[in-house]
């Protein structure tokens, strides 16, 4: 089988396409013929120079994959031909997170999905909803589940509440779709007028250009009167001040990403204290969360937004495209 390997922190063009034997599933395991993978900003950080101390070399990158069951070991409920999606964490099947449950993240501590075949523990697989293609299904494990955790599981968003999303990357577009499914209003930001037109077609109630409106947080507060219930914070320290301004008293900032850097010393933390806001860290989610997201998408017949699909042979170009920031939603790779 062919797979991509990161043999050291050498950058996108150092990704090596290598040949390996197809593994055989043991008891409780499933051999999946992967037909699709998708990229996340984290994968870019990984290939560019290391992502956390748990990253191993050589490493098959990418946490997200979907495909078809090829063979199963003993004691597995799946059968060959089943369409499945792999979870970001193999051991976090449900419940509260713990260090043990979060140890094995695909494309980080263990090999990921840029591979023609991969063994999964059966407990880490979810059946692909019938209305999704494998490419669409492969966008769920990281960005989709993170957005689900931020908006529903930890954000507790209810109909009529307001969610603010930042930019048009994978997590934010999923957050917009999930918030709309939950009956919430969405204020969505972007740096691009072309992308803003897409945000409106995807259901954003209000859009703000964060480049031409640098005080977008203040604006969001003015528009809502009291502030938003939840900010899906993908920018990090560089956007947090405006997020604090945008958030209502008692509201939540779901802290997810690090796309915008800025000195931490300039943070408006006293304002956050005075407004009794909640800063909620989010780390993807469990297999149960992936299942809940798949169920919700199936119920509402909502499809993930896939910007562009690259052939497996051009996986490095997919990384370069992701790095350009031109995409809206997800960048995917068709395998095989």
Least separation in angstroms between CB 106 and ligand NAP: 12
Least Cβ distance, residue 253 to ligand NAP (angstroms): 13
Angle at 117 between CA 114 and CA 120, to 5 degrees: 95
Handedness of CA 72, 74, 79, 85 (dihedral sign): negative
Six-digit token pair at 225?
């009167």
Q: How far apart are CA 330 and CA 173, in angstroms?
A: 9
Work out how close the CB of 46 gets to ligand NAP at its nearest, in angstroms, rounded to a whole number: 10
Give the CA distances from residue 9 to residues 114, 115, 209, 239, in Å, rounded to whole numbers and listed in that order: 17, 19, 35, 28
Nearer to ligand NAP, 18 or 258 (CB): 258
Beta-bridge partner residues of 331: 39, 308
Q: How far is the CB of 28 from ligand NAP (least distance, A)?
A: 27
Nearest to 6 by CA among 281, 14, 248: 14
From CA 318, how far away is CA 324, in angstroms rounded? 10
Smallest CA-to-CA distance from 211 within 171, 166, 169, 248 is with 166
Contact by Cβ (8 Å): 113, 63? yes
Going by C-alpha positions, the residue among 164, 256, 177, 278 that lies closest to residue 218 is: 164
Rounded to a whole number of angstroms, the minimum distance from the CB of residue 293 to ligand NAP is: 13
Shortest reach from residue 26's CB to ligand NAP, in Å: 30
The SS3 call for residue 21 is coil
Q: For ligand NAP, give the closer residue by CB, 133 or 168.
A: 168
Euclidean distance between CA atoms 186 and 199, whole angstroms: 10
Nearest distance in Å: CB 75, ligand NAP: 31
C-beta closer to ligand NAP: residue 122 or 253: 253
Whichever of 118 and 198 has its CB closer to ligand NAP, that residue is 198
Residue nearest to ligand NAP (CB): 169
- Residues with Cβ < 8 Å from 319, sequence gap 6 or more? 12, 15, 39, 43, 44, 47
- To ligand NAP, the closest distance from the beta carbon of 209 in angstroms equals 9
Do residues 186 and 165 lie in contact, with contact meaning Cβ atoms separated by under 8 Å? yes
* Closer residue to ligand NAP (CB): 47 or 76: 47
In the bound state with ligand NAP, the residue whose beta carbon lies nearer, of 35 and 207, is 207
Tell me the closest approach of the beta carbon of residue 157 to ligand NAP, in angstroms: 17
**Which pair of structure tokens corresponds to residue 142?**
């990281």
Interface ranges with ligand NAP (CB under 6 A):
40-42, 142-143, 146, 166-172, 189-192, 195, 210, 234-235, 238-239, 256-260, 282-284, 322, 325
Alpha-carbon gap, residue 150 to 131, rounded angstroms: 24
CB closer to ligand NAP, 15 vs 69: 15
Given the complex with ligand NAP, which of 72 and 143 has the nearer CB atom? Answer: 143
Residue identified by tokens 């369409």 is 83
Give the residue with the Cβ less far from ligand NAP, 33 or 195. Answer: 195
């Amino acid at each position: 089988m062919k797979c991509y390997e990161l043999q050291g922190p050498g950058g996108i063009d150092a990704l090596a396409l290598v040949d390996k034997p197809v593994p055989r599933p043991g008891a409780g395991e499933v051999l999946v013929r992967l037909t699709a993978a998708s990229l996340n900003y984290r994968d870019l950080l990984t290939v560019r120079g290391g992502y956390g101390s748990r990253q191993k070399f050589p490493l098959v990158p990418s946490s997200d994959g979907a495909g078809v069951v090829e063979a199963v070991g003993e004691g597995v409920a799946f059968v060959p031909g089943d369409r499945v999606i792999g979870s970001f964490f193999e051991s976090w099947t449900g419940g509260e997170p713990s260090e043990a449950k979060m140890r094995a993240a695909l494309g980080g501590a263990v090999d990921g999905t840029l591979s023609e075949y991969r063994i999964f523990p059966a407990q880490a697989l979810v059946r692909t909803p019938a209305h999704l293609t494998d490419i669409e299904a492969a966008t769920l494990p990281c960005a989709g589940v993170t957005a689900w955790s931020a908006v529903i599981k930890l954000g507790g968003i209810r109909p009529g509440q307001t969610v603010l999303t930042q930019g048009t990357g994978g997590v934010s577009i999923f957050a917009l779709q999930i918030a709309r499914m939950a009956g919430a209003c969405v204020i969505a930001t972007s740096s691009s007028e072309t992308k803003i037109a897409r945000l409106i077609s995807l259901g954003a109630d209000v859009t703000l250009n964060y480049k031409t409106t640098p005080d977008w947080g203040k604006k969001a507060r003015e528009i809502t009167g009291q502030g938003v219930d939840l900010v899906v914070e993908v920018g990090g320290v560089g956007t947090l001040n405006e997020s604090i301004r945008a958030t209502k008293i008692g509201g939540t900032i779901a802290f997810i990403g690090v796309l915008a850097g800025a000195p931490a010393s300039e943070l408006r933390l006293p304002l956050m204290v005075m407004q009794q806001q909640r800063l909620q860290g989010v780390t993807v989610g469990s297999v149960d969360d992936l299942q809940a997201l798949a169920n919700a998408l199936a119920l509402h017949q909502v499809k993930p937004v896939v910007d562009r699909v690259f052939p497996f042979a051009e996986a490095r170009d997919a990384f370069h495209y992701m790095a350009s920031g031109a995409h809206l939603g997800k960048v995917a790779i068709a395998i095989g």
